[in-house]
Amino acid sequence: MVRRSFGSLPARRRARSKGAAKATPRRAPARDSRRAHRRAAPDCKVGTFSGKCDPLFRGGPLACLPPPPAPPPPLEACAGKKPDDDCKVTVGDKTFTGECEPIEDGKLICLPGPPPPVEACDKLTAGAQCSLTVGDVTVKGMCRAVTEGGLLACVPQPPPPPPPFVAACDKLNAGDKCHVSVDGKTFDGICHQLPNGGPLVCLPQPPPPPQAALDACANKSKDQTCSFTWDDHTINGACEFLPDGKTLVCAPMCHK
């Protein structure tokens, strides 16, 4: 029979408990309180300088250090926002709107949105009709690739070609003869200057005025009064140039 030494059990238990105590020593309360004090980073002031009490380096002594600088406006504009959220940045008297985009360290920065011509073709395909508004003006156009990478932008459509009556007087002057072909019909005319800065248009030649109206302005100047007899009636008027800009004719005066 093997006898068990009961007297040795407490000693072994005490030895194990001592070993466990050595394996996981407890931190001193005083040291923990000092670390908590350091983490609090109380305010401090040196002369006119204000800051926070922070260690100069890890485990180093505390010093009054300036607070970290404020984030730049593009980062501050996206604080508390999610990617693709709208944002606005104001720097001085300049303001722009954009979207929050992720950058390194998981931060978000407010970047300006695409220019209006590019934004107008968002989710559209090349050749699709588009429109963009700049100020109070709305322009219609077509989505076209403007870069080698295929970036689409709304390009205003070119103006329609001028009508034949205007094209016939291109590079001509008022009073010059012109020639127009429309729908298979052809006629000769004279270039007339439309009022209020309008274009030159080719209009059919009017019937020639009576010879008496031409004779009435012979040896006279423009706007001088004149008169002539037509069908036993006396016509009073003022001398005006014909479309050729050279010949004066007595034009009847309008009566109110």
CB atoms inside a 10 Å sphere around CB 69: 6
Max intra-chain CA distance, the chain: 169
Asked whether residue 92 carries a pLDDT value surpassing 60, the answer given is yes
Same domain, 215 and 248: yes
Q: Is 51 domain-assigned?
A: no
Pairing of strands 152-156, 185-193: unpaired
Count how many domains the chain has: 4
Q: Is 180 domain-assigned?
A: yes
Same domain, 97 and 127: no
Q: Is 133 domain-assigned?
A: yes
Q: Is 58 domain-assigned?
A: no
Asked whether residue 190 carries a pLDDT value surpassing 90, the answer given is no
Residue 217 is predicted with a pLDDT of 95
Confidence of residue 17 (pLDDT cuts 50, 70, 90): very low
Q: Is 7 domain-assigned?
A: no
Confidence of residue 124 (pLDDT cuts 50, 70, 90): very high
Q: Is 183 domain-assigned?
A: yes
Q: Are 7 and 14 in contact (CB under 8 A)?
A: no
Q: Is 215 domain-assigned?
A: yes
In the three-class reduction of DSSP (H, G, I as helix; E, B as strand; rest coil), residue 73 is classed as helix
Domain that holds residue 223: 211-252
Q: Is 61 domain-assigned?
A: no
Q: Over the chain, what is the mean pLDDT?
A: 80
Residue 153 is predicted with a pLDDT of 93
